[in-house]
Amino acid sequence: MYGNKGSSFNGMYGDQQFVNAVDVRIAKMIFIPTKEYTDVYRRPFEMNTSANSLNALENVIGDQLMRGGNVNPLAIANVVPDIMKLSDVPKEKIQIANGWGTVRLRFIMEVEHMVGTATHVSYIQGYTDYHDPSISGKIDPNMLMHINSITNVIRTTSADTGQMHTRVHSSFNILYDSQSNGYNVENTTESHRLLRPKDIVDGMDMNKIQNAHDNNMDSRSLFGVLPQESKRTNSVGVQHITNVINGVVLGNDMASIGYGESDIMNVATSGLDENNLGGVTFIEALSAITGEVASVEFTLNDLAKLDPGVEQALVIVDTSTPMLNDNMINNILDTTNTAEMGTVSMEATIAATISESVTGLLVDDMLSSIDFSITNMTPNSEQVVAISSSKSFIHGIDVIGYTERFMNKFQALVMPAITKNNLMGVDIFIHADVLGETTIAVALNGDHPVVYRLPTFCNSLYTSMISQEGDYNVLVEDFSQVLAMTNLT
């Protein structure tokens, strides 16, 4: 059994009575000081509704459905890669406690609990409000920490061979912003909406309801009421639209075997359900301590009540040494002259698109970071990739196969949107760290590279899955138009 139930914790956080909650063990908690960042802006998803794009999408959906089964995101990426794209114009400026110029700590916490003979591991990733170490170098036990994302992994051991098997069970961001006004019932023009696939389908369903009852207010997609989950791969444009389409296809299939028309959207939404935050064992245990329904903010004092061994699990990492042996890459990573993400430029949109999509694809293949360059500035526009390094957040796995799989998906799902299906020449360097920051250097058609740096450790704050209500309504109408064109609604 993990922990010492009923014992008191007498460490650097004082005398903390251990709470008899769910049995978890904090195996490791790593803190890393952050840099200072330029202002961060949100670019929500929008649909490319040009006549050519919509016609191309209608044709590819029709062709895929005639073949039977689901629509494949690769098919959409090959034909109309930018059908779901980030806004070219940056929208809201995002706030963070004490501002983006404050050095704070980012953290990754490895939490274990047993289910039968399997070890369930939650990798809890997030950030603090500030970094103000004591003279002894220890961390303020009352400093607030915010959860940005959770990745749940299951480890099992084969009874026959003794070989360890590891798989990612779920990975999602926590959409919650304590700095935001969220939904204001007195002034709905300030409300924010979620743009996850399930929220789009809910919006199309509510449009039907509102046609009959104009005074209905749909609260399902509101942002700011409670912490919400969003699968990391929601931020890959072609994957997002494919999920919505396949959800509605499932609803139609159920209707054809006897379900009523009113059930189509309910079935579609059920296939797009997000992960249950309350079902994460660590959150359940933390909620028992804090008294909150779904705790996504906590202190080290809270953790000491949860696991009296937390002091031994803490590590503060020195980031002063170069990450790689490549001087050119280190110069890009260390530069302080990074461009503003709040500008309207093709380079900024490409950097935002990469930042949004790459982290979801990385975690899907059990990787935590990767450094690579990619170019199509070759005689025949062939894409050339050079990978400098890659790492996993899971100890002991061979990253080579997972790295190759990630690159295949990145080239198939993301690069067509960036290059307009190879019509535009790009030279791109990417340092993507799911647990830290993402640095992207973008050069278009042989121009000088522009370098951007985004704080991935808090990417739930500026995710493309949140928008103003007006933008949400436009996106719902665009989806309704697409599905009507293909006779899916």
pLDDT in tens, 309-354: 888 888 888 765 555 555 556 666 666 678 999 999 999 999 999 9
One-letter identity of residue 337: N
Query: Mean pLDDT, to the nearest integer, of 171-196?
Result: 68
Would you state the structure tokens that stand for residue 130, as one six-digit string?
């500030």
Query: Mean pLDDT, to the nearest integer, of 434-440?
Result: 92
Provide the whole-model pTM.
Answer: 0.87
Among 36-40, 393-397, 447-451, the least confident range: 393-397
Query: Mean pLDDT, to the nearest integer, of 292-297?
Result: 83
Same domain flag for 21 and 118: yes
Is residue 60 included in any domain, yes or no?
A: yes
For the chain, how many structural domains are there in total?
3
Identify the pLDDT of residue 328. Answer: 55
Same domain flag for 445 and 408: yes
Is residue 259 included in any domain, yes or no?
A: yes
3-state secondary structure 30-69: EEEECCCCCCEECCCEEECCCHHHHHHHHHHHHHHHHCCC
Backbone CA torsion sign across 481, 484, 485, 488: positive
Query: Mean pLDDT, to the nearest integer, of 94-114?
Result: 91
**Quick one: DSSP state of residue 232?**
G
How is 245-301 classified by DSSP, letter by letter? HHHHHHHHHHHHTT--GGGHHHHHHHTTPPP-GGGSHHHHHHHHHH--SS--EE-HH
Same domain flag for 372 and 446: yes
Identify the pLDDT of residue 486. Answer: 81
Same domain flag for 22 and 167: yes
Is residue 137 included in any domain, yes or no?
A: yes
Same domain flag for 25 and 129: yes
189: pLDDT strictly greater than 80: no
Is residue 207 included in any domain, yes or no?
A: yes
Identify the pLDDT of residue 176. Answer: 87
239: pLDDT strictly greater than 80: yes
Same domain flag for 169 and 223: no
425: pLDDT strictly greater than 80: yes
Same domain flag for 345 and 421: yes
Instruction: Categorize the per-residue pLDDT at 390 as very low, low, confident or very high, splitting at 50, 70 and 90.
Output: very high
Is residue 3 included in any domain, yes or no?
A: no
Is residue 44 included in any domain, yes or no?
A: no
Cα–Cα distance, 121 to 56 (Å, whole number): 43
Please give the mean pLDDT across all residues of the chain. Answer: 84
- Are 29 and 147 in contact by the 8 Å Cβ rule? The answer is no
Instruction: Categorize the per-residue pLDDT at 8 as very low, low, confident or very high, splitting at 50, 70 and 90.
Output: very low
Is residue 426 included in any domain, yes or no?
A: yes
Identify the pLDDT of residue 58. Answer: 92
The parent domain of residue 17 ranges over: 8-38+96-180+276-316
Same domain flag for 195 and 338: no
Among 144-148, 252-256, 394-398, 453-457, the least confident range: 252-256
Instruction: Categorize the per-residue pLDDT at 260 as very low, low, confident or very high, splitting at 50, 70 and 90.
Output: low
- pLDDT tens for each residue of 86-95: 999 999 899 9
Is residue 46 included in any domain, yes or no?
A: no
Identify the pLDDT of residue 326. Answer: 59
